[in-house]
Homo-oligomer: A and B are copies of this chain.
Amino acid sequence: MGEPQWLDKREARLWESYRDTHRELMRALEARMISNSGLSGADYALLHPLSEAEDGVLRTRDLGRSVGWERSRLSHQVSRMEKRGLVCREECVADARGSMVRLTELGRTAIDAAAPDHVDAVRAYFFNRLTPAEQAQLTTLLDRIAADLPETCPTPDCDD
């Protein structure tokens, strides 16, 4: 391997901005969600796919895939939400080894109450800052980056 090609000043700026903007945007959305509805970002992340699933129920495996979390993180978060009555665990009828997660009535009420302000926040902090042409361009760039990533399994500690 030759001399590493370090990032120049312009590249380092973009790389830092890419990571920091994501972190600060997610933090701002989460802070607003907690103060508005008492739900955390992690609560919402799981309630959302469940609320869109048929009968409000998903295989645990599919739920994990939809949020991209590894198993132990998902399991801890489901346990926390189960204690608060937002979801419940069920055995999978079709597969004895599988388990399912079901949205409860309370969970449905919670996400229905949180969603309108959350979508307003996503518009205010993200979409309203970009023209439709910029949104289209950003979609193109992100898709290109995503398409060429090596496949990895979720790891326990990659939340940065």
Using CB atoms and an 8 Å cutoff, list the residues of chain A in contact with chain B.
1, 4-7, 10-11, 13-15, 17-18, 20-28, 30-32, 34, 40-42, 45, 67-68, 115-116, 119-120, 122-123, 125-127, 129-130, 134-135, 137-139, 141-146, 148-150, 152-155, 157-160
Q: Are A24 and B68 in contact (CB under 8 A)?
A: yes
Q: What are the 4 A-B residue pairs with the smallest beta carbon separation, nearest first?
A: A159-B159, A4-B116, A31-B152, A30-B158
Q: Are A157 and B14 in contact (CB under 8 A)?
A: no
Q: Are B125 and A148 in contact (CB under 8 A)?
A: yes
Secondary structure class of chain A's binding surface, majority of residues: helix
Q: Are B155 and A27 in contact (CB under 8 A)?
A: yes
Q: Which residue of B lies closest to A70 (CB)?
A: B27
Contact of A157 among B15, B42, B157 (CB under 8 A): B42
Q: Are A123 and B5 in contact (CB under 8 A)?
A: yes
Q: Are B155 and A30 in contact (CB under 8 A)?
A: yes
Q: Are A146 and B28 in contact (CB under 8 A)?
A: no
With A14-B138, A139-B17, A159-B159 as contacts: A7 and B145 at CB distance below 8 Å: no
Q: Are B119 and A7 in contact (CB under 8 A)?
A: yes
Ordered by A's residue number, 13 sampled pairs between the chains whose C-beta atoms are within 8 Å are A4-B119, A10-B135, A10-B139, A18-B126, A22-B22, A24-B152, A27-B152, A27-B154, A41-B158, A125-B145, A129-B141, A130-B141, A159-B159
